[in-house]
Amino acid sequence: MIKDGLFEQFEVDDVYGIHNIPGMPIGSFAMRSGAITASESLFEINIKAQGGHAALPHMGIDAIIVATEIVQSLQTIVSRKLNPSLNGVVSVTEFIADGSRNILPGSAILRGDARALSHQVNETIEASMRQIVEGVSLAHGVSAEVQYETVFPSVINSPAPVLAAQQAASEIVGSAAVDADCEPKLFSEDFAHLAAAKPGCFVFMGNGTQGVNARPLHSSDYDFNDEALTVGSSFWVQLVEQQLSKSEV
C-alpha cells in the first residue's frame, strides 16, 4: 500500500486502526498520543564451541554453558542497561543444542524476541546484546554471531488523530468510557508502518472482562466477543462522518 503510492494516489490525510483488548469492558475505548505499542525485534545467536565427551569436559568447550551464561546475562539489559522509567522486554524463546546423552554440544542456537517503546531503547537493547555475546564468547574462547532484525517499529500515535478518535468514541459510548491517555502495550502491530507514513491513531476497544472474552490474546481458549461488533462498527461510521464533515467546512 505504502510502496505502491496509494496514500498519495488517494490523498490520505490520516490513518486509524483498532484492536480489541481482553480485560477491558465492552463499550469502552482507549488511546494515547505517542507510543502505544512496542517495536518487535527478532534475534538469533549462533554459538560455535567445541563438542566432546561428557566425561571429559576439559577437552571441549560446552556450548550449553556458554549459551546459558548468555541467556542469564541478556536479562540484565532491561534491569541494568535501561533507564527504569523506560520500557523494554528481552525474551529468549528457543534454546537448541546439538549434544546427546553423553556428548557435550559443540554448537547452540538461541532465538528470541525483544520489545521497545522507542527507537532509542531498541538500539540500546541491540547494542547491549551484541556486547554481551561478544564478551561471553571471548571469555570462553568461542565464536558467536548475532542476527537482530526489527520487523515492526513502535506505533506512534499523533495528537490530532488521537483527538479525532476520542471525539468519535465519546459520541458512541460516552466520554466516561473513553481513556485518552492509556498505558501503552508491549505487543507489536504492523499498523506501525502506516502510522510512520501518515499521522495516525491506533485505538484499543474492550472485548469484555469475563470468561473466554477476557483470556489473553493468542490464548487457545480466547474468544472474540460478538457484542463488540456493533460498538466497533458504530465507532468507524461516527469517525468517518465526523472527519468528512470537518473536511467539507
The pLDDT of residue 1 is 65
DSSP characters for 135-187?
Answer: HHHHHHT-EEEEEEEEEE--EEE-HHHHHHHHHHHHHHH-GGGEETTPPPBSS
User: How many C-beta neighbours within 10 Å does residue 43 have?
Assistant: 24
How many CA atoms are closer than 13 Å to the CA of 42, on its beta-carbon side?
A: 4
How many CA atoms are closer than 13 Å to the CA of 90, on its beta-carbon side?
A: 26
Q: What is the DSSP letter of 25?
A: P
CA distance 173 to 167: 10
Tell me: pLDDT of 6 over 90. no
Helix (H) or strand (E) holding 41: strand 39-48
CA distance 110 to 221: 29
Question: In the CATH scheme, what is the code of domain 6-38+154-229?
Answer: 3.40.630.10
Domain extent listing, the chain: 6-38+154-229, 41-152
Instruction: For residue range 195-232, list pLDDT tens digits in order.
Output: 999 999 999 999 999 999 999 988 999 999 999 999 99
Instruction: For residue range 65-122, list pLDDT tens digits in order.
Output: 999 999 999 999 999 999 999 989 999 999 999 999 999 999 999 999 999 999 999 9
Instruction: For residue range 111-120, list pLDDT tens digits in order.
Output: 999 999 999 9
Distant-in-sequence, close-in-space partners of 166: CB < 8 Å, separation ≥ 6: 29, 31, 178, 180
Q: In CATH, what is the architecture of 41-152?
A: 2-Layer Sandwich (3.30)
Instruction: For residue range 119-133, list pLDDT tens digits in order.
Output: 999 999 999 999 999
CA distance 118 to 191: 16
